[in-house]
Amino acid sequence: MTEQEKHDAIQAFSRICTDCATTGITAARTGDAETVIHVAEQIIGQGRRIIRLINTAD
């Protein structure tokens, strides 16, 4: 994986986190605990996926 590909992967993860955080904040404000938990799980899962992708790339 080139440095540019790593950079692009991290940028994609950043966008995912931003979108999820916005959803999570809205859910938290309305007291929707299930959505907050689901969003947190999505962020963690995507983070692990991106880290694994970067660490195992050629």
pLDDT at 55: 83
5: left (phi over 0), alpha (psi -120 to 50) or beta: alpha
pLDDT in tens, 2-20: 888 888 888 888 888 888 8
What is the rounded CA–CA span in Å between residue 37 and residue 44?
A: 11
pTM given for the model: 0.66
What is the rounded CA–CA span in Å between residue 47 and residue 14?
A: 9
Q: Which two tokens stand for residue 12?
A: 């994609």
- Sign (positive or negative) of CA dihedral 39, 22, 47, 31: negative
pLDDT in tens, 14-40: 888 888 888 889 999 999 999 989 988
